[in-house]
Amino acid sequence: MAILTLTINGEQVSGKDDESLLQIARQHDIHIPTLCHLDGLSDVGACRLCLVEIEGQSKLFPACTTKPQEGMVVHTDTERLKRHRRTIVELLASEGNHQCAVCVVNNHCELQDLAYEVGLQYVRFPYLYPKKELDATHKSFVLDRNRCVLCTRCVRVCHEVEGAHTWDIAGRGIDCTIIADMNQPWGTSPSCTSCGKCVRVCPTGALFEKGQTVAEMEKQRDFLKYIVTARTKREWVAEATEE
Amino acid sequence: MKPKVATVWLGGCSGCHMSFLDMDERLIELADKIELVYSPIADVKHFPKDVDVALVEGAVSNVENEEMARIIRRSSKFVLSFGDCATTGNVTAMRNQFSPDEIMHRAYVELADGDPTIPSEFTTIAKLLPQAKPLHEIIKVDAFLHGCPPTPDQIWFAISELLAGRTPELPNVYLRYG
Ligand code: SF4
Ligand code: SF4
Ligand code: SF4
Ligand code: FES
């Protein structure tokens, strides 16, 4: 492990070579918007909200899956990045069916927060109103694909933390969808332990507890840090202490 | 001359207009500053020709809404999408996953209390468009007021800005969906 020095938004910062640009930025209180990233899960670079510019490179890089290099000069908040981020949120909004007013997570939703952060006055693309299935067959939880942004947090937490691997993604492109086991009703899934982790990590109202009505569902995502730290360090604390 | 203001109710639940009325005593102040030339709360039959500001509630859901939207645009200097249904389609657009025929059947046959009949000639109710759309997909919109409904404070802010001759670039404190 080596300590590297780089520049983010004109500020000299240092970080370890096995950390991501996102981790290093956050350690220095530099905010980068994210959606698919969640502390405690592996990073997949799916949502592209964390894109940053690196001087000398024409393409953009997702901060959550990009490693630092000595002398790297990074920008996280340029006009070009702001334009891209707004476009991403607009595409997410137009490709799903979001009616915040009647959604279980209204006012506690990471997609809403992002819409506010990018200043989304309106969506420039035509809304697609896709036909999406809702799965209410599980005894405690509901999957409403209308609200799903395909961040795959549920897939990863179920596989990496719970070890059940109930969720997967089927289909391609705009037809991608979350499926349980062999594309069967969630309630019939033999692998699901009903632990509820997927429900807690879902950034939107796509996964929620039964019996929740509009704006009632507030998710606690901190629990993951405890579990992951307990596993790796055998300590019941939110952040692992440095060895 | 006082600015001419219109408020219009398209495919919405009238909740945005209720919120407008919830401005309470500020309405009295407003009455001194504007001339309300068209509104569901005023008995005026036709949309006037020279409106300064139009607040439009609701999605564009049927042929009548669509025609009205075009009249509003032709006759108004400034058009404001008033609330989430006008801005995103919101609850009104939840029907878009079904065809107009399925919806008519659901409303007039499956849910009918008495004699289930689908209105055959669209004489009493306007024909549904294939999908309900946000206002800006039909006509050019100049600014957006969010929320389901927008709060009285948001509405007051937007109107005050317009009366002061500014386009309400609604600051993010007023940006909230739902
Ligand atoms: S998931 Fe979030 S953005 Fe989508 S409808 Fe619910 S509150 Fe709104
Ligand atoms: S409840 Fe637990 S086991 Fe079941 S799908 Fe969700 S994370 Fe996996
Ligand atoms: S169900 Fe929730 S956690 Fe899973 S992919 Fe969709 S938005 Fe992400
Ligand atoms: S947070 Fe990096 S791509 Fe989603």
Q: Does A135 share its domain with A186?
A: yes
- The helix/strand/coil state of B137 is helix
Q: Does A122 share its domain with A212?
A: yes
Per-residue pLDDT of chain A (243 residues; tens, 9 = 90+): 899 999 999 999 999 999 999 999 999 999 999 999 999 999 999 999 999 999 999 999 999 999 999 999 999 999 999 999 999 999 999 999 999 999 999 999 999 999 999 999 999 999 999 999 999 999 999 999 999 999 999 999 999 999 999 999 999 988 999 999 999 999 999 999 999 999 999 999 999 999 877 777 788 777 777 777 766 776 666 665 544
Q: Does A155 share its domain with A110?
A: yes
The residue from A77, A103, A119 where one domain ends is A77
Q: Does A124 share its domain with A213?
A: yes
Size of interface A-B (CB pairs under 8 A): 69
Q: Which ligand is nearest to the CA of A32?
A: 4
**Domain B4-96+130-174 class in CATH:** alpha beta
Measure the CA–CA gap between A99 and A93, rounded to whole angstroms: 10
* Strand intervals (E) in chain B: 4-9, 35-38, 51-57, 60-62, 76-82, 128-133, 143-145
In a domain, A243, yes or no: no
Cβ-contact B72, B139 below 8 angstroms: yes
Q: Does A105 share its domain with A165?
A: yes
| pTM greater than the 0.95 cutoff | no
In a domain, A240, yes or no: no
Q: Give residue A223 CA to ligand 2 midpoint distance, Å.
A: 15
Contacting residues for A197 by C-beta, under 8 A, at least 6 apart: A157, A158, A161, A162, A223, A224
The residue from A77, A95, A114 where one domain ends is A77
Please name the residue that has the structure tokens 């730290």.
A229
In a domain, A32, yes or no: yes
Domain extent for A48: 3-77
Q: Give residue A37 CA to ligand 4 midpoint distance, Å.
A: 5
Reported residue count of chain B is: 178
Say which CATH number the domain at A47 has: 3.10.20.740
Say which CATH number the domain at A162 has: 3.30.70.20
Atom of ligand 3 nearest to the CA of A152: 5
In a domain, A44, yes or no: yes
The residue from A77, A111, A130 where one domain ends is A77
Cβ distance A101 to B90 less than 8 Å, yes or no, reads yes
A152 lines ligand 3 (CB under 6 A): yes
Instruction: Please report, in angstroms and rounded to a whole number, the separation of the first and last CA atoms in chain B.
Output: 36
Q: Does A67 share its domain with A183?
A: no
Atom of ligand 3 nearest to the CA of A157: 3
Measure the CA–CA gap between B35 and B127, rounded to whole angstroms: 33
Q: Does A116 share its domain with A60?
A: no
